[in-house]
Structure 1
Amino acid sequence: MNLKVFILAASTIAVGLVELTVGGILPEIADDLNVTLGTAGQLITVFALVYAISGPVLLTLTAKIERKRLYLLALAIFFLGNLMTYFSPGFLLVMIARVITAMSTALIVVLSLTIAAKIVEPAHRAKALGFVYMGISSSLVLGVPIGILVADHFGWRAVFLGIAMLSVLSFILIYLFLEKIPSERVEPLSVQIKSLGSIKIASAHLATMFTLAGHYTLYAYFTPFLKTTLNLNQYWISICYFLFGLSAVFGGALGGTLADRIGSRKSILLVISSFAVVLFFLPYATFSFPVFLVAMMLWGALSWSLAPPQQNYIIQIDPASSDIQQSINNSALQVGISLGSAIGGVALEHTRSVVSIAHVGAGVVVVALICGIISLTSPYRVKQAGTLKQEG
């Protein structure tokens, strides 16, 4: 695999850590800034919201800027945002810093995806996207434990200073190894938004959103699930999270490799349907801890396997607007995470059973499968070289 793809993946790890690492150190942040735990929790909510919205918008507004220059500029802003968090004396400035880092993170991640897709041969594109998603999933999975570890030894502010230093390393690597990539003509944002009126494209984004929503319906409440079904203590719960995270990290590479071998369309159907089945039967695997670990790791791998074939599929069906569609699909992923957590909470409130939320999550993934089938079977008219071409 191209060295530049690995550098892009490493860069997404560096910037991605900033999103969920806050979740593990909320009490320390709340105490230091003299706010309630609920108020501190808005640092996560606001970040996810700004991230989801700003990616497509910023990609359009910066369309005329050469891609390497834009990447370095976004990394510089990300660095300053984390320094601002480190030095902020109050909650308001920390929140402003979170908005700055959310916007720059969204742009860096989507640039990593779009650049990776351009610097490799089409036959290896899905695999390249898979490696970048390995970086994204790594940061999301490892952010909380790393944040807790660093905060315990050096204080919560040191977490953001460390992330700032990692972004400096990413800046150096991108500057040294990534060649200049010219900007491409991008349709106005209004035109790109209209593309979502296509059932084929909108359904593809919804498939991503509902798959992650189904996943987080259970994953957001994984700790009580493990305590209730397996009576695990904190030590074994930590091991489960570690193994799950390990599986999730390799899920992106799995999805990319699968798409390169059997095609993106078959991969999308295979991953979503398998994910629904595994999620539904996961509670029934708790009769044996070793059996459950196998099922759990399969669940973890599948949770991040959809993104690479889905991104590759989007590029295939609409090359002209592929950059913005990749960004929108990444935003759909973020919305799915928030939606899934909310669905899980409502289901838990009504059923009072952590086991039942696995079935609810599987049901949400079935909705994703339906959306995927609609997208794959719907025609779409794309403009190519001044003509209209019918795509199946």
Structure 2
Amino acid sequence: MALYRNRTLLALAFFQVCAGLIEVESILFGAFMSSLGATPDTLGFVLGAGYAVGVLGSILGGRLVDIVGARIVFLGSIALSIVGLVVEAFSPTWIVAAVGFFMIQFSQMSLRPSALRIIAEAFPDSMGAALGFLYTAYSGVAVAGPLLAGWLAQHYGWNAVFMGKAGLYLLAFFVLAMFIPTGGKLASLTQGENLRGWMSVFRRMPLVMLYVAAFIGAFFSYASSFLSYDPRLSASPLALAVFPSIFNLSQLVSSWPSGVLGDKAGYWKIVLGGAVIMGCAWLLFPIPSETVFLYILYLVFSIGSIMSNYIEVLAVKLSPTTGQGLSVGFLDAARFMGFSLGEIFGGMLWQYAGPSVSYLLAGLGYILAYVFLLLSYRSSKES
């Protein structure tokens, strides 16, 4: 239990709570942009460009972690998020709001490699338990986060939403500045290892296979985005609202146990099992006609998805200490590119091939991701 009394972990958990308390998800962001006169095609362009900015943030953020240290990048990313939120709060046009959105996207993606480096340094033997605890802290408040954001927007305006979130981030910034350690010295970064070039991580075949698996898994995650077009759900808002609730509840209940199990049984078993579970869930999805069975299958998928999140731990474990930030940055970049291209492909597939083919192909895609994960595992054992 000493882990859960650690000041670094508690400070990170406090940040997770502050981040989830007022949550502006894609639907609410679309409403905000619409209020500033953005058309649907404009919104699509901004969101698509946001993916590109996120990829850049993950790679640059990861590189900076290895050069200047995780603490500086982590706190700097939070500071940039605060600036972006203030820009959005006082945006007179959608163009200015888009600039704030890009700042937030960049900072949020650069946060990830720095956070994982901090956790790896502070809890090298219990990364899974620490990550599970943080996921649970976030999901515990994020269930109601969009509701609070919507209530603030309706009664006090969008500037109250973004300034409220900026205030929470600022509070978390001061807490983190006090309790996040400086980390190890970076003198070990030599020309012979990570500073030799941006592509140094691609010399490690297990990491390359891991990136391919991450891209494939993200690419075939499109299936849940088009559930509203499934005739079995009749586009019912209430029936559709159950799906994100199932996922949030699954994250709340299973994140922590998955992390603890990963520490004891190995992260490979958790991530490989997650890929198989997700694949089987979508392969079976075309069969049921009753909504309740669709919910059960989505619950199974959600648990597998949460298990697969620990692929980030594998990226840390497979990389040299001096290249952990860049390694995680490339992993997140691969996933972000997969998400972006997968949504486009999924929309076209649903339009021209129908739901059954879309679900089946998504299931096969996760099985393919499992194959590359297995190749990564075997390659890591050989090397």
1:372 deviates by: 0.9
Bigger mean CA deviation after superposition, 368-377 or 197-206: 197-206
Structure 1 residues 61 and 317: alpha-carbon distance in aligned structure 2, compared to 1, 3 A threshold: closer
Number of aligned residues: 374
| TM-score, structure 2 as length reference | 0.85
**Aligned equivalents of 1:142, 1:200: Cα separation in 2:** 39
Q: Does the 8 Å CA contact 1:129/1:256 hold for their aligned counterparts? A: yes
Does 1:280 pair with 2:283?
yes
Cα-Cα RMSD: 3.0
2:202 aligned partner, one-letter code = L
Structure 1 residues 328 and 13: alpha-carbon distance in aligned structure 2, compared to 1, 3 A threshold: farther
Q: 2:229 aligns with which of 216, 224, 233?
A: 224
1:127 deviates by: 2.3
Q: Write out per-residue CA displacement over residues 109-159 of structure 1, whole angstroms, 9 at most, x where no aligned residue.
A: 22112111211142x122223344556778998776554444333333433
Aligned to 1:208: 214
2:303 aligned partner, one-letter code = A
**Aligned equivalents of 1:272, 1:60: Cα separation in 2:** 28
Q: Write out per-residue CA displacement over residues 165-197 of structure 1, whole angstroms, 9 at most, x where no aligned residue.
A: 221121122123323324534455663423224
Q: Write out per-residue CA displacement over residues 329-356 of structure 1, whole angstroms, 9 at most, x where no aligned residue.
A: 22223223223212211211221x2233
1:223 deviates by: 2.1
Q: Write out per-residue CA displacement over residues 73-129 of structure 1, whole angstroms, 9 at most, x where no aligned residue.
A: 32222111110111121222222222222222222222112111211142x122223
**Aligned equivalents of 1:256, 1:195: Cα separation in 2:** 25
Aligned to 1:24: 28
Structural mapping, 1:239-258, within 5 Å: 239-258=242-261
Aligned to 1:7: 11
Structure 1 residues 268 and 70: alpha-carbon distance in aligned structure 2, compared to 1, 3 A threshold: closer
Bigger mean CA deviation after superposition, 367-376 or 148-157: 148-157
**Aligned equivalents of 1:175, 1:191: Cα separation in 2:** 31
**Aligned equivalents of 1:19, 1:319: Cα separation in 2:** 35
Q: Write out per-residue CA displacement over residues 286-339 of structure 1, whole angstroms, 9 at most, x where no aligned residue.
A: 33333332221121121121121x222223332332222122222223223223
Aligned to 1:162: 164
**Aligned equivalents of 1:114, 1:271: Cα separation in 2:** 23
2:121 aligned partner, one-letter code = K
- Identify unmatched segments of 5+ residues in structure 1: 381-390
Structure 1 residues 263 and 18: alpha-carbon distance in aligned structure 2, compared to 1, 3 A threshold: same
1:281 deviates by: 0.7
1:220 aligned partner, one-letter code = S
1:237 aligned partner, one-letter code = L
1:37 aligned partner, one-letter code = P
Does 1:271 pair with 2:277?
no
Q: Tell me the SS of whatever aligns to 2:103.
A: helix
**Aligned equivalents of 1:145, 1:183: Cα separation in 2:** 43
- Identify unmatched segments of 5+ residues in structure 2: none
- Residue identity over aligned pairs, in percent, reads 18
1:362 deviates by: 0.9
1:349 aligned partner, one-letter code = Q
